[in-house]
Amino acid sequence: MADALRRAGGPLTALAAALALSSLIMLAFHANPLQALAALFQGAFGSEQGVAETLVQTTALLFAGLGVAIAFRAGLLNIGAEGQLAAGGLCTAVAGASLHLNALFEVPLCLIAGAAGGAIWGGIAGFLRARFGASEVITTIMLNYVAFLGSSYLVSGPLRGDANAPETAPISASAVLPPLLADTRLTAALPVALALACALAWWLRRSVAGYELRAVGSAERAARYAGVDAGRVIVQAMALSGALAGLAGATEVLGLLHRFNAGLSPGYGFTSIAVALLGGSDPIGVIFSAFFFGALQNGALAMQALAGVPKDLVSVVEGLVILFMAARWFSKGRTCLRRPAVAADAP
Amino acid sequence: MMSPGILAAAVVKVLPKKATPLVFAALGGVLSENAGIVNIALEGIMAGGAFAAVATSYYTHSVALALASALVTGALLALVLAYFAIAQRADQIIVGMAINIFAIGGTAYLVSAVFGQPGASPQVAGLRDESALTWAAAAIVVALHVFLYRTRAGTHLRAVGEEPRAAATAGINVAAYRYGATMAGGALAALGGAYLSVGETDIYSDGMVAGRGFIALAAVIFGKWTPFGAAGACVFFAFFSGLQIVLQGANVPAQLLEMLPYLLTIVAIAGFIGRARPPASDGVVYEP
Amino acid sequence: MIAGEPPGAVFGLAARGITKRFGDLVAVDRVDFDVRAGEVHALIGENGAGKSTLMSVLYGLLQPDGGAIVLHGRETRFASCADAMRAGIGMVFQHFLLIDRFTVAENVLLGREPGRAGFIDTAAARSEVASLAQKYQFALDSSARVESLSVGARQQVELLKVLERDARIVILDEPTAALSPAEANALFVVVRRLRDEGRAVILIAHKLKEVLALADRVTVLRHGKVTGSLPIADANANTLAAMMVGRAIDLNAREPRRTTPGDVALSVRGLCAARDDGAPAVRDAAIDVRAGEIIGVAGVEGNGQLEFAEALYGLRSVSAGSISLDGADITSRSAAERRAAGMRYVPADRQREGLVLDFDTVENALLGDQRRTRVGAAVNLRLGRERADAIDARYALAGYDPVRPARAYSGGTQQKLIIGREMTDEAHALICVAPTRGIDIGAAATIHRQLRGVRDRGACVVLVSYDLDEIRALSDRIIVFSEGRISGVVMPELADDITMGNLMSGAASNG
């Protein structure tokens, strides 16, 4: 417990520094930081609706953040959560609209479809990195644009469900995720995400596959010596990472929108990096940081409405958090990736 | 259906517009990476430069000042990268991503805060003839080549990026070269952003950089970290970007055409078109 | 004036009572050391004795906590190595500071390139370096890229850097570590010439034979203190070794064999393997290793021995040939499968290959066996704990704690962890690469003892080493690699320097 608190010290300090700096920015534009903070709090926690919505944001960020964290532990920087989310959401929407089974089967199948879509999208980048040494930083970013444009094309044409709008057909009633709290958007996705986080925590620390993934991320040559096929691990890690992001999209479709359209991704891609870093790339830590950023994002809307501070300030806070976390002051290089692989690694 | 000749001519006409911002950003990347600092914040720096130019033009009505402010903004954003990379020994890719998030979010915030309307700025005074910047870009390509390979300072800069320890024992100030190269690189990239705003469109809108910073990064790799190579790669990417504009009337869906530059970048990065080694200490944390 | 100095002999560099601390550790403790013009003064000692630290102080890389540096009779301070270089001191480090992609001329003249107005005159640079190389009879092409040069040639470039600045005091740090006997002899010629030119040469070495051949004076450091300083005529290998370790040790003594070798356990035929860049590294290697036998693999570094060892263990794929263990063909088996069959491997680069520094002791004790010993889907931490405890019991790991990350242990302890993990009773075929490199004599003796123990238990051992003395002391038979081929098989009693030198350079072969 004491150990956990000590490890949380770094991230908390980084957070405080980021908030302090953001307050200065607000002051420079004649906004009142305290008023903004109050509005933020009010929006995030002030009502039952507010708390539920905060948890809704938390859920999506938790899935995507777990994905980025897993990739980090394997020494990879997955910037492609946006695209993987879209790929997963699209697959889920199609599955949900096409299948008409009992909810007991339909929901898991649709979720699996979403995970599979994200896994493939992430796996492509993993394959390019393992086979050709192509930097996953660049390929995942490019794949984001491809996913956005591709899905936009598909829902305007071949996969269009309704003639009036560029989106897929609505999913069948049995695919809808059961709500957790009436009159809110909170669904069963949250407990699924929490359970997944706990499972991943065990998997990473105790399983052989987790051991090998961490070895590749931390000391690739030693991992090779230990008989680990680094290329295979890299592809698997990116696929797993993409699958988690795909689940974020899947739960978005099944729980909230009930269909897929071009406006699906609310910009979680970059935020999930902040979530993973602030959580120390550890699944349990990610739960807490996802909650923090979920509150931040939900509260930001209230902050804009009530205090007149543009919600994009949240991005500024995110960027600063990542910046401070990367510095030696706070993290002792724990978030340091092995090295940027912009050229092929030695085989 | 247009003949290939007319198609090519149409693309060539639009090529400078497409290539110039990429070239500026890529040259910025070449400069800093040859000194050993990986700069993936080119995208955010371009956005910062684009916004700074528009904001300055809005208040001063001077395009010259607008361009100057872009240079300063780029240098300052790059200074953040340099500081965290050098003094704090942080992972350069993560710091670069942080700057991207911070800059892109920050410019969106500032658009609302400064102009009072979200999403885009009003129209401002821009460059009447943006081809001046294109000529400048070409000149800088040549100048950078001469600098890196023929001058003492340029050779020292490359030594810093290859083996900082060897450079240090030869009396070269590693940190100074890294700070200088990164900041100069940032200024160049920001100029690319300014081209997009006060050069081409005369406004700033959220997301106008649209991934060009990352394509420029790919051009640096594809161009084997040399000025001429990176510029050539930019022209190559720009060609396909131009193709998309020109083919828009045809029966190909717009989105699929828009995908071309991004798909091409992936193909290039995967080494289907050749691969090379970066400067030996590129991105490696230096502990003196 | 240094006490005992004849008057007038003021030229030289001296450390007077130098002390350097790192936290609680006193690395250099009130050391007096001096070198005069026209002499070669060797500084020897175990790893961690303080030689490198002392030289770093003399070269301006570190500031002393006590004592003074005396240059040409006057007390001076060096704020940085630039100061020391300006004062005429030049140092050739053990790990070269060369820029692979640059040419010889660019490397030698880095920071002092000829030219006007900031531009570089490449032609002038090239010819300047070419004539300097010619003067010392270095066969170097000044416009060749360093990456294309052999280790011996690269060292010549490092020497040129020092000579170009006309350093009057030259420090050489373990210069023959990676050289073949022929290249080492060429270096000796250069060192003698430097001395005859009136320069002062400090030679950091641990190969006592070289010291005895080359030096005029020798000083021994142990735990940061000087334990002896004498003219070479008064020194011999055993007394020097005793001064280094504090007790009489003859590492090169052969021990009488206690067992006789059994049947052939490891058999290699026609093995061919390539380097990472695709160039052939091992050509047509064949050997039979019996149970209870140590095969020493000698050769200058880079002649294919490392790739051979990696191919044996399964870290490198084989393009032709076969390997069999106990009669079973293992050529296409993975490293994990070979481990299951009893093969073990002590890698060359301990820190990066043999351990995951971020993992704790228990997890590292399982490295390589994590999949084979798993419990369901989980890592067998209980077994890992047992292993770690056993290694600690046998080798006494300093600061042992099961949950401590490997990064926190010292280099020597990390090495013990790896060796303890690999040299167990389960090891049926042990492959070691340079197991005592960078290890001090005391620990090296322990490792030698363990190797003999593994052999006596009936395992077959393949020992790749770049230290001829180690090979001669431990091997039952010696094979020599030259340019990827086994150029000869020699019995240790007949493996004198000339024979070995010829086989290693490929000038002769008896294979």
CB pairs under 8 A between A and C: 66
Helix, strand, coil percentages (3-state) for chain A, rounded to 5, are 75, 0, 25
pLDDT over threshold 90, residue B223: no
| Chain B residues close to A314, C-beta within 8 Å | 105
In chain C the domains, ranked by start, together with CATH numbers, are: 38-56+89-245 (3.40.50.300), 251-342+427-511 (3.40.50.300), 353-426 (no CATH)
Q: Is the CB of residue B234 less than 8 Å from the CB of residue B18?
A: no
DSSP string, B199-238: IIISS-BTTTTTTHHHHHHHHHHHTTT-HHHHHHHHHHHH
pLDDT in tens, C125-154: 999 999 999 999 899 999 999 989 988 899
Closest residue to A226, CB basis, from C352, C368, C377 = C368
Measured CA distances, A56 to A258, A290, A293, B218, C194 (Å)? 15, 11, 11, 36, 77
Q: In the prediction, which pLDDT does A226 show?
A: 86
Q: Is the dihedral of CA A282, A284, A290, A291 positive or negative?
A: negative
CB pairs under 8 A between A and B: 170
Radius of gyration of chain C (CA): 25
Distance separating alpha carbons of residues A45 and A322, to the nearest angstrom: 25
pLDDT over threshold 70, residue C186: yes
* Burial of C483: CB neighbours in 10 Å, binned 0-12, 13-18, 19+: middle
pLDDT over threshold 90, residue C383: yes
Q: Which residues contact C334 (CB under 8 A, 6 or more apart)?
A: A227, C314
Q: Which residues contact B71 (CB under 8 A, 6 or more apart)?
A: B49, B187, B190, B191
CA geometry: angle A245, A251, A256, nearest 5 deg = 130
Region A171-187 average pLDDT: 79
Distance separating alpha carbons of residues A276 and A284, to the nearest angstrom: 10
The secondary structure of residue A31, as a DSSP letter, is -
> What is the band of B260 on the pLDDT scale with cuts at 50, 70, 90?
confident
Closest residue to A227, CB basis, from C349, C357, C368 = C368
CA geometry: angle C242, C244, C245, nearest 5 deg = 70
Q: Which residues contact A39 (CB under 8 A, 6 or more apart)?
A: A299, A302, A303, A305, A306, A307, A309
Which subunits sit against A, judged by 3+ Cβ pairs under 8 A? Answer: B, C
Chain B 136-175, residues with CB within 8 Å of chain A CB atoms: none
Is C352 at the interface with chain A, CB within 8 A?
yes
Q: Is the CB of residue C292 less than 8 Å from the CB of residue C262?
A: yes
Closest residue to A326, CB basis, from B90, B211, B253 = B90
> What is the band of A32 on the pLDDT scale with cuts at 50, 70, 90?
confident
Beta-carbon separation of B162 and C99 below 8 A? yes
Closest residue to A312, CB basis, from B90, B91, B112 = B112
pLDDT in tens, B102-155: 999 999 989 988 888 888 888 888 888 888 999 999 999 999 999 999 999 999
pLDDT in tens, C386-437: 999 999 998 888 889 999 999 888 877 888 899 899 988 888 999 999 888 7
Chain B 222-241, residues with CB within 8 Å of chain A CB atoms: none
Beta-carbon separation of C110 and B172 below 8 A? yes
Distance separating alpha carbons of residues C47 and C358, to the nearest angstrom: 25
Beta-carbon separation of A208 and C371 below 8 A? yes
Is B80 at the interface with chain A, CB within 8 A?
yes
Region A324-336 average pLDDT: 58
Chain B interface test: which of C101, C157, C160, C171 (most B C-beta within 10 Å): C101
Distance separating alpha carbons of residues C54 and A85, to the nearest angstrom: 59
Distance from the Cα of residue C24 to its chain's centroid: 28
pLDDT over threshold 50, residue C254: yes
Query: Has this prediction a pTM greater than 0.90?
Result: no
Residue C477, token pair as written in the block: 């038979």
Write out the CATH class of domain B4-269: mainly alpha
Q: In the prediction, which pLDDT does C4 show?
A: 46
CA dihedral B185, B187, B193, B194 (to 10 degrees): -150
| Chain C residues close to B165, C-beta within 8 Å | 97
CA geometry: angle B106, B111, B117, nearest 5 deg = 140
Region C158-180 average pLDDT: 89
SS3 C360: strand
Other Cβ atoms within 10 Å of B128 Cβ, number: 7
Q: Position B200: which residue type?
A: E
Q: In the prediction, which pLDDT does C447 show?
A: 85
Closest residue to A312, CB basis, from B38, B109, B255 = B109
SS3 B51: helix
| Chain A residues close to C381, C-beta within 8 Å | 206
pLDDT in tens, B273-282: 555 677 888 8
Is C113 at the interface with chain B, CB within 8 A?
yes
Higher pLDDT, C212 or B156: B156
Beta-carbon separation of C335 and A221 below 8 A? no
**Among C460, C510, C452, C453, which residue's Cα sits nearest to residue C480?**
C510
Higher pLDDT, A158 or C199: C199
Indicate whether this complex's ipTM tops 0.90.
no
Region A110-139 average pLDDT: 93
Region C73-94 average pLDDT: 89
What is the topology classification, in CATH, of domain A2-331?
A: ABC transporter involved in vitamin B12 uptake, BtuC (1.10.3470)
Q: In the prediction, which pLDDT does C127 show?
A: 94
- In DSSP terms, which residues pair with C45 in a beta bridge? C221
H or E element in which residue C50 lies: none
Q: In the prediction, which pLDDT does A333 show?
A: 42
> What is the band of B250 on the pLDDT scale with cuts at 50, 70, 90?
low
* % pLDDT > 70, chain C: 93
Mean pLDDT, chain C, whole residue set: 87
Q: In the prediction, which pLDDT does A339 show?
A: 39
Beta-carbon separation of A219 and C379 below 8 A? no
Distance separating alpha carbons of residues C117 and A72, to the nearest angstrom: 48
> What is the band of C506 on the pLDDT scale with cuts at 50, 70, 90?
low
Region A43-48 average pLDDT: 85
pLDDT over threshold 60, residue C6: no
pLDDT over threshold 80, residue C448: yes
Higher pLDDT, B248 or A191: A191
Distance separating alpha carbons of residues A62 and A244, to the nearest angstrom: 9
Is B79 at the interface with chain A, CB within 8 A?
no
Distance separating alpha carbons of residues C432 and C415, to the nearest angstrom: 12
| Inter-helix orientation angle B42-60/B4-34, to 10° | 100
Instruction: Give A138-169 as a 3 state SS string.
Output: HHHHHHHHHHHHHHHHHHHCCCCCCCCCCECC
Is B251 at the interface with chain A, CB within 8 A?
no
pLDDT over threshold 80, residue C301: no
Beta-carbon separation of A142 and B102 below 8 A? no
